[in-house]
Structure 1
Amino acid sequence: MSDTTLTGTATAADTKAHGVLLTDAAAGKVRSLLDQEGRDDLRLRLAVQPGGCSGLIYQLYFDERFMDGDAAVDFDGVEVIVDKMSAPYLDGATIDFEDSIQKQGFTIDNPNAQGSCACGDSFH
């Protein structure tokens, strides 16, 4: 994995910095949330932490920090950060935002997850 920060519109080649893709719907929602915060120094951080029924949980939050070893990709003004320990677990993952009558929220489709718990909050 590279420590390179890429800018501009993300393409499949750009996502190699950390392997995570942010859909247009998710980018739009993140921009809206950042506008509400009134801050321009925040990035969207996706991380994997030990926990949950299946062993690993996702952490998705705004972060002002850029730590040593972080990889970043800019998706048309929304910077997504992944730390070097989480990157192997998230390579190929897609962050999306669903807004339907049944569900509203961010989803993470991760091809590296071999299974998840019944509640869907953790994976292994």
Structure 2
Amino acid sequence: MSDTMTAPTGTEPATHGVKLSDVAADKVRSLLEQEGRDDLRLRVAVQPGGCSGLIYQLYFDERLLDGDATADFGGVEVVVDQMSVPYLDGASIDFEDTIQKQGFTIDNPNASGSCACGDSFH
């Protein structure tokens, strides 16, 4: 009987292999506080586009769709759609704040190459 209680029901979201650094999680929490919202999650997706074929999308989303995979990083929920999970497995999201650059960065071991701007990959 205990096996049926722990078996996935199909309505429980799956997990994904995307990692969120502590610095990035702090930045997301700060942005959510600025928005005054506690019902949003960080959605990470891969879509066709950019100069290398695929482009990353990072945005806040209040929806949780069928097939979404989720992971929690200290109260920050990161969601990846079913189609993007294989492209992002093992990817790390960080936040960089230097004199040269400020923003989220994605280190993706699945990318075989990227463009000079760093926003798209193949």
TM over 0.5: yes
Of 80, 83, 86, which aligns to 1:82? 80
Query: What is the alpha-carbon root mean square deviation over aligned residues?
Result: 1.6
Give the counterpart letter for 1:45 in structure 2.
R
Give the counterpart letter for 1:67 in structure 2.
L
Secondary structure class of the residue paired with 1:111: coil
What residue number does 1:61 align with? 59
Contact 1:19–1:93 at 8 Å: present in 2 too?
yes
How far 1:103 moved relative to its partner? 1.3
Of 46, 67, 76, which aligns to 2:44? 46
Structure 1: unaligned runs, 5 residues or longer: 7-16
TM-score by length of 1: 0.87
Percent identity between matched residues is 80
Structure 2: unaligned runs, 5 residues or longer: 1-9
What residue number does 2:68 align with? 70
Give the counterpart letter for 2:37 in structure 1.
R
TM-score by length of 2: 0.88
Question: 2: CA distance between counterparts of 1:3 and 1:48?
Answer: 23
Give runs of aligned pairs for residues 1-124 of structure 1, distance below 5 A: 4-5=12-13, 17-124=15-122
Change (3 A) 1:39 1:101: same
User: Which has the higher Rg, Structure 1 or Structure 2?
Assistant: 2
The alignment of Structure 1 onto Structure 2 pairs a total of residues equal to 113
What residue number does 1:9 align with? none
Contact 1:3–1:70 at 8 Å: present in 2 too?
no
